[in-house]
Amino acid sequence: MRKLNIIVDTLEEHNITKVSVEGFLDAHTVPEMEKIIHNLIHEGKFRIIVDFSALSYISSAGLGVFMSVIGDVKNNNGDIILMKMPPKIYKVFDLLGFTEIFSIVDDEEMAVNAFK
């Protein structure tokens, strides 16, 4: 079975939560990712960076995790900034028009600056 590892860090000085994902974000692993993202929102953490550098695969179910919460996040003066996206993952986001909805940046400094 394909696995997903998720690490959640807080960038205290910027009041930003960084979620790093590694492995496969698909129908089997989506519930874990949904739980983490929904918990962050429940805790009032609406400034979220997602590090995709170690993500190998994302399915439509994985994309749905982010689409399902982006409205709530933005309605609370927050955002979900996606960073370090491998080309094959970026291609999926671009193909579906998600690059118009989400800010996608190359590194953490750019992600933090996107909130300013």
Q: What is the DSSP letter of 86?
A: -
pLDDT of residue 116: 85
- Res 65 pLDDT > 70: yes
pLDDT of residue 103: 96
* Res 29: pLDDT: 97
pLDDT above 90: residue 100: yes
Q: Which class would CATH give 4-113?
A: alpha beta
The per-residue pLDDT for range 16-62, each reduced to its tens digit, is 999 999 999 999 999 999 999 999 999 999 999 999 999 999 999 99
Q: Are 112 and 16 in contact (CB under 8 A)?
A: yes
The domain locations on the chain are 4-113
